[in-house]
Amino acid sequence: MKTRTDFLRAQKGRRQSMASLTLETCVSPISRSKPGFAHVGFTASRKVGGAVERNRAKRRLRAAAASVLPLLAREGHDYVLIARNATLSRPFAELIRDLSKAVTAAHAAIDRSPIPHENARSDGARA
């Protein structure tokens, strides 16, 4: 994922927070989904630290995603991994465990939620 609109769309989807990261996920638009692919994005705010710390946190998230997402990611979904302060200090095995739990929990929540009706409005009013 590269564009701001992709990140904003994922922000409106399901959010799962863990000690070392936050995962945001949503279904990809039909026009963007390619068979067999899930889109992944990484971000780290200045709360994590300076540029060196943010880059290191994103590298750690990329490495964790490379080991977890090929096994757990769903085709046609977008995933955004957001670094937290603990991303830098958490042992890598625990970072992988956090990401696995977050992906599994997000998928379970997506499966439980009803499919919204096309004409449904967010303010509860009828169209």
* Unique residue bearing structure tokens 């757990």: 72
Distance CA 42, CA 1 (A): 8
Which among 12, 16, 81 is positioned nearest to 43, based on CA atoms?
A: 81
- The pLDDT of 60-68, averaged and rounded, is 95
Tell me the pLDDT tens digit for each residue of 42-58.
999 999 999 999 999 99
Please report the pLDDT score of residue 111 as a whole number. 83
Instruction: Give the pLDDT band of residue 104 (cuts 50, 70, 90).
Output: very high
Distance CA 59, CA 17 (A): 19
CATH of 4-112, one of 3.30.530.20, 3.30.230.10, 3.40.50.261, 3.40.1160.10: 3.30.230.10
Tell me the pLDDT tens digit for each residue of 2-38.
888 888 888 898 999 999 999 999 888 765 556 667 8
Q: In whole numbers, what is the pLDDT of the chain averaged over residues?
A: 85
Q: List, in sequence order, every residue forming a beta bridge with 24; answer none if it has no partner.
A: 15, 80
Q: Evaluate if pTM is beyond 0.85.
A: no
